[in-house]
Structure 1
Amino acid sequence: MSLRSDARSVLESWTAPDPAQEALRRDYLTYLDRHPDAMWRSCRSGHLTASAAVLDPSGERTVLTLHGRIKLWLQLGGHCEEGDPSLAAAALREATEESGITGLRLLPEPVRLDRHAVPCGGGSWHLDVQYAAVAPAGAELVLDAAESDDLAWFDVRELPEPSDDACRALVHAAARAVRALAPGDQAGEAVLRRASRSG
């Protein structure tokens, strides 16, 4: 399955949490239909991207990066690459590269969508597909200065400034999803094991 086909499958099967997210889901599918290169940054009018809110196993703390160009505290993520077999794999790769954490486990379905303007190629749009990822207990961060100006754990109730509403909305949605996988919840652990194998 191509990355574009995977994106279509993910978006067709995803149940949006509210009408605004449903409208975005439909817009993303229409965009995929109209732009054969919608997965790649070469699509100058906009392209699909993948990101993840990385949380600790309790869903109480999250990792944010201080973006080197935008100068905001944001979730981890970015452009899809040729070797990515799926949107989930792209989100997991980006989160691993930018956090330095090995053993991240991605929840199998997106938690949100967000479309935002970016300076790519002189001005474009990211149609971001956003996931939640769970870090191993006690995971330590490894800052890559080429990726960001700073990297840190934050309480999900006390996110740093400057950030933006989209990042805050993602962190809160991801925290709810992770907390639903309560410790000792065998069904929840099975979800994470399946996600780890498929990623």
Structure 2
Amino acid sequence: MQANQLTTYSRLGLTISSPDEAVVLKLATLAMTVDAAPAASSVPAIGEYWPGQGGVYVGIRHYPDGPHHLIVGAEDLGKFAWGEYGAETGATSRTHGILNTTTLLEAGGSFPAAEAAANYTADGHHDFGLPSIGELNQVWQYVPDLITEGAYWSSSQRSANFAFDMTVDDGTQDYYVKNVELRVRPVRRLPIH
């Protein structure tokens, strides 16, 4: 009778051994996913800069693909037009700015606000986008001192001619003509595992 051979996975002090290779692969994959997520103790308080994550922590948001940490870029990027007045773009999510930003960038045409947000980099992260109207509202609610002047574009289109914006002086959500220049503040998401 032949002894069962063990499959072993070792990383960062964790060792998994089993004669069932499929079990080891599943557990190793789970361990790598957990390692990639930030430890709960490393998450800063809302309103604090999150070292290594590219911006200020705004809290947790729930998306269809699960909860994520929301991080807002530490810099205001200036004023830009939303772009493509008269064009339906499909960037209509009121909750998911990265999805809207990707939709705009893949649509062709000129979308200066989304392009500025997508080109923003901080702490080595290149996954920023123009916030949805919901994400922009969360920034205004939890870190209002970061967006204190005028109106900011969201990535959420209202119609072929208008997109949603937020006037931060009083928290008014409205819509504006797409070819007007408003302020831009990028955001990124970090999945919670």
Same fold (TM over 0.5): no
Q: How would you bin the TM-score normalised by the shorter chain?
A: under 0.3
Q: Pick the structure with more strand per residue.
A: 2
TM-score (norm 1): 0.26
Q: Larger Cα Rg: Structure 1 or Structure 2?
A: 2
Q: Pick the structure with more helix per residue.
A: 1
Bigger RCO of structures 1 and 2 (CA < 8 A, at least 6 apart): 1
